[in-house]
Structure formats: structure tokens, C-alpha cells
Amino acid sequence: MIDGTMPIGFGLVGAGMIANYHALAIRALARQHNLRLIGVLGVTQDEAVRFAQKHDIPFATDDPQAFFARSDIHVVCVVTPSGAHLEPALQAARAGKHLIIEKPLEITVERVDALLDAAANAGVKVAAIFQSRLTQGAQAVKKAIDEGRFGRLVLCSAYVKWHRAETYYTGWKGSLALDGGGAVMNQAIHAVDLLQWFAGMPAEIAAWKTRRVHLGIEAEDTACAAIRFANGALGTLEATTAAYPGWERRIEICGERGSAVIEDDRIVRWEFRDATPQDAQLLAEASGKGGASGASAPDQISFEGHQKQIENMILALRGQSTLLVDGAQARNAVAFVRALYESADKGAPVTLVASST
């Protein structure tokens, strides 16, 4: 635990697009929570310096040893490509730094487990960026599920029909080594996380994946899966980056006593057999609170979700809260996606956990 009077220093590993969101979120919280944005570690010195100048960061380097040796950095945000999370996370853990890691934690379950084992051995916290869980819509659905308002879940599905131009797929994007996959691992991962958070992990997945439009990438641009959840509910997952112009991400949770639909972060349907006086107000409030969508471009989101999760880490380090999305929880999304890919590669269903039915 870090004393409330002591500044908490942050460092960023990575200086790409998503690093900007972390820097802005940390700056927004700095005065209220006594934070310092200390340094950035880039692939090259020039890259690190440019990013540091943009965000007024005092220390910029391409030397991992110099970066992780700094005693004034207490929390490291890992914002490298997905398949390059493990190595800096291991270095950070060995140096006693707490970790905030962009989604997904890593691209295979084995690499996720190595990361979590290292953090546990070092006694450092791991938080994963799954900011969609913190929206009013997602929180309301989760609360209603936990309170039993849906009754037995029947169908639980997610649809991510997005568009990415050919120019999006440069560098590591769409590669198996660093992206770990395509439309499912990168774009649909937030929907996957919400789906398993709401309905639990699947017992079985039967999936298909293909490249329909973005033929130059290694990974899929389109995938579809049929899901049997451990609680007996069924569902589907559809994901693509090849559908023009790109629609809002849609999550549908249907149960014997009620159903709800979230588009992006807005509740658009909220219907229960046993209605409460609060339902109409919740629907009105949540339906009007939608952030910018990532349906057609990844830079259309705000940093509000990152700010909430970074603030949660601060409160956890000060002993005032627990982590809302810790490493163990974030592992589920990777296990879900890898099972989907395994099924698609084998052409056969894959079993994940034992069913209760």
C-alpha cells in the first residue's frame, strides 16, 4: 500500500496511439490523486523524446534498464502491441512496479499465465484495460444479472460489425506474432470480455474465421461462433472489420424474466417482466450516455474509461478499493478467444469448462 501523502509515479512502455490515452488520463487525475507522469520508454530514443515533448514528460528513453531502474516510477502502463506485453511486464514486475496493461493481457493463455505468475511472485498488482465494464450500461446489466432479474439466462450474444480501411493494417496490426489475431482478438475483445462477465465462461465453442476483404493480413477479418455457456445458456459472437460503414457494438442478454441490449455503451432495450419504478429512469439515463464509437476508426474513443481504470489502480494502491478488472479476470477473455481460434482451426467444437447442465 502506498501512503496517501506520497506521490505515485507512472511510466509508459510504448509511445503509440493508445499511449496518448494513458498519458491524458494520468494528467487528468494528477492533481486530485497526487500523481506524477515520470517517464516513457520507446522503441527508439527519437520516438520516446517526441512523445515526451507532446505530453510534457520529463524522462524519455529507449533503454529498458534505465527506465525500470527509476525508483520514482511505481506503476507501469504497458501499451506496446499485444504480443509484446509479456517481456516489459516481466521486467516491471522484477523491478517491483505495479502494472496496468492494455487489452488483451497477452495473445496466448500461456503468456498470460507467465505474466501473472511473475506479478504474483513479485507481489505487484496487475490491472487490465477493459473500460467497457465501467460504463453505466454495462454496470446496470451486470447488477441486474447478479440480482437475478433476468432469471435463467437463455441467449447471450455479441456483435462487432466494424470497418477498418486498408490503411489501418500497417506494421503489427493483423499479424499473428504481435496482434495475436484479427477482428476477434483486437476489435471484439471488449465484447468478449463483457459477454463472459455477464454470462460466464463458455463450456463449448464452435467457430469459423476467414479473410473476406483484408486479404493482405495474416489474421482473420471476419469470424462467427456458436457458444454454449456453462450455465446452459446459448449464444453467438460475430466479429468483423470488413463491414462498411461499421455499426455500433451490440450485446444482447436475454433471460426468462427479462432482456437487455447495449449498443456501444448505451442501453437501448431494458425490459423485465417484473418492472421497477427505477427502470424507466435508468433506460432514459443510460440510453443518452454514449461515448464515441470505435466502429469505423480506433481513435474515436475518449480517455474517460482509461481514466476510471487508472483511478481504480490508484485507490487500490492506497488501500481504498480493490481492482475492478484484475489480471485473473482479464485472463478469461484471452482463454475465450484462443478457444474460438482453436475451434476454427480444427473445424470442430472446443470444450473450455464443464457445463452445469
What pLDDT shows up at residue 169? 97
What pLDDT shows up at residue 277? 87
Strand order in the sheet with 153-161: 266-272, 258-263, 250-255, 153-161, 234-240, 222-229, 202-210, 350-351
Rounded mean pLDDT, 53-67: 98
**Mind listing the pLDDT tens digit for each residue in 151-175?**
999 999 999 999 999 999 999 999 9
State whether the Cα torsion 271-276-282-283 is positive or negative: positive
Q: Which DSSP string do the residues of 157-171 spell out, in sequence order?
A: EEEEE-B--GGG--T
Fold for the domain defined by 8-131:
Rossmann fold (3.40.50)
Higher local confidence (pLDDT), 280 or 227: 227
The CATH class of the 132-299+326-351 domain is alpha beta
Per DSSP (E only), the strands in the chain are: 8-13, 35-41, 59-61, 75-78, 98-101, 126-128, 153-161, 202-210, 222-229, 234-240, 250-255, 258-263, 266-272, 350-351
265, 251 Cβ separation under 8 angstroms: no
89, 67 Cβ separation under 8 angstroms: no
What pLDDT shows up at residue 292? 56
The span from the CA of 115 to the CA of 111, in Å, is 6
What pLDDT shows up at residue 258? 98
pLDDT value at 150 more than 60: yes
Same CATH topology for 8-131 and 132-299+326-351?
A: no
62, 39 Cβ separation under 8 angstroms: no
> What is the residue extent of each domain of the chain?
8-131, 132-299+326-351
73, 56 Cβ separation under 8 angstroms: no
